[in-house]
Each structure stands twice: as C-alpha cells, then as structure tokens.
Amino acid sequence: MVKAGGEGKILPHHFIKMKRKGIKIVMVTAYTYYQARVADEAGVDGLLVGDSLGMVIMGYRSTLPVSMEEVLHHLKAVVNAGPRALIVADMPFLSYEVSREEAVRNAGVMLKAGADAVKLEGGLEVVDRVEALVKAGIPVMGHVGLNPQRYLVVGGYKLRGKRAEDAASIIEAAKALEDAGAFSVVIENTAREVAAEVTKALKIPTICIGAGPDCDGQILVIHDVLGINPEPPPFARKYADLYNIMKDALGRYASDVRSGRFPSEGEFWSMSEGELRKLRQILRVSNSEAKG
Ligand code: KIV
C-alpha cells in the first residue's frame, strides 16, 4: 500500500511533468478493490472512478442517475487498494452544477474519502467551479468534447468537433479550463485534429478517449479493455475476452456442482476422529432423550 503523498505515489503535478518530458499517460477506470489493484500492478498511471459506473456496474442507461453515494462507495474500494496510481473521482451529475459552494463541498467529500483529484464535465460553463475548487485546494481534471452528462441537450452521444466552429469552441473551453487551474483535461469523442490542437495549445496534459493518438495520454473504461463488456464502443481496444472467459468458468462451475464433482478432496475439511466420536455420542444422548 502506497501512503497518500508517499514515495512513488503519483500526484497531479506528476501528470504535468510527464507531459513536459513527453511520457504518455495511461489511465483506466476502476470501480473495485481488485480492479484498482490489478491496474496498479500493471503500471497504469491513473485510475478514474468514473460515473460510467452507472452503466457498467449498475446497468443504468446513462450516467445521469449516478449519485455522490455511488461514486463514494466505489471510490472507497479503489482507495483501499492503496494504489501508486493517481486516483481521480468523477463528480456525478448535479453534484457541481447548482452552486460553487455545493461543488466545493462535494469535491471535498471525494478528497476526504481518499481521491487525489476530481473530474468534472463541461467547458466555459464550469470555469468558475474549477476556479473555486482549485482555490479550495482540490485538484481538478476537466472534461471537454462529448460530455455524456449533457447528452440530452446536445442531442445524444455524438462525435464532437466535426464542424470548425464546434472544434474552435472545444479548444477555447480547454484553454479556459487550464487558465482556471485544471491540471489536465479529458477529451472525449472528438475528431483527431481537435484533440491534437488542444494538446498543442495546453501546458497541462490531455487524456483522450475516442479522440485519436495525438494526446498526452489515453483513458479507457476497464470493462472495454478487458472485454467484460461484450459490446465495447468502436474506439476502444479489447485486450482480453473476460465476458466469455467468465461465462465459460461459471458454466463449468455450475456443471461441477450439479454432477457432484465440486467440492472434492482438498476443497473441504473434516473433524478429527476424536471430535467425531464425541459428536456421535452427544447426538445419541440427545436423540434418546427426545424419544424418552
Ligand atoms: O466516467 C467515465 O468513465 C469517464 C471516461 C469516459 C473518461 O468519464
């Protein structure tokens, strides 16, 4: 377990140093103790307790129903793994929109639970929130391009920055987030050229998802990387087929239970001869008492 801020622990300023040195930043989402542990052991630099948990853990149809309590629950599991990787907690819908005060209070709760930083979605409309959080000592990762929490007002989960005006507005938003004190920014589902321009324009690193190879780092949802989600989005790369591996393993377990092949020798334990004799004696006495 790496102590908060201890030797080797990755903190927000390390992300900026990595950009300066041209070292690519690797992030993945994590929602559980073992996901965090295995991703950290694999050498991932950052773990996002994303509001994508709404879909991949809870089976919601969007991220809108995700609550502070749900993110906190999963954040605690990730924190318990004591990762060296930076832990970023996603601010769920309605945890930062209502007022700056609510944003600071909710982000502060994430830090108290062990997050190293928070992420929130939006461009110019959240700049004052980012300023307030940074002023309160809370490191912030921005999130531009496709903002899934705003899918209802933008007309769905569409590719952003296809048109020059939209592309320019994304670049402007990313610059404003940097000026407001964000230490990095996620770019989601934009044309490659938009992400490349943002990456060139900013001193803070860009972490991309579905936005091409010209960014300072990449992030994917762990269920897509590992193939736990059998229908990953086209921009994700599946490095394992855990859905089918799990299905096969569970099918063999069910068949072993039904056939009596599980459990077998070594998978259960027995009483000593002496204790067994005593137990039989106790049972004989209680049975004869019950009859008599
Ligand atoms: O919640 C999430 O998983 C995210 C990533 C898509 C960046 O925000």
Domains of the chain, first to last = 12-225 (3.20.20.60)
SS3 breakdown of the chain: % helix, strand, coil, rounded to 5? 45, 15, 40
pLDDT along the chain (292 residues), means of 10: 74 98 98 98 98 98 97 98 98 98 98 98 98 98 97 90 95 98 98 97 98 98 97 95 98 98 97 98 93 82
188 has catalytic annotation: yes
pLDDT at 158: 87
d(CA 91, CA 232): 23
How far does residue 281's CA lie from ligand 1's centre (Å)? Answer: 63
Is 149 near ligand 1, meaning CB less than 6 Å away? no
Is 215 near ligand 1, meaning CB less than 6 Å away? no
d(CA 268, CA 142): 52
Phi, psi of 49 (to 5 degrees): -85, 85
Cβ contacts of 288 within 8 Å, gap of 6 or more:
none
Cβ contacts of 124 within 8 Å, gap of 6 or more:
172, 173, 176
Q: Which residues pair with 118 in a beta bridge?
A: 89, 140
d(CA 191, CA 211): 6
Is 219 near ligand 1, meaning CB less than 6 Å away? yes
Phi, psi of 222 (to 5 degrees): -60, -30
Token pair for 188: 């989601």
pLDDT at 155: 87
pLDDT at 3: 61
pLDDT at 1: 66
d(CA 215, CA 17): 15
Check: pTM over 0.85? Answer yes or no.
Answer: yes
How far does residue 85's CA lie from ligand 1's centre (Å)? Answer: 17
pLDDT at 17: 98
End-to-end CA distance of the chain: give it in Å, rounded.
62
Residue 125 Cα to chain centre, angstroms = 24
The answer to whether 29 touches 49, Cβ cutoff 8 Å, is yes
pLDDT at 6: 67
pLDDT at 35: 98
pLDDT in tens, 153-181: 988 988 989 999 999 999 999 999 999 99
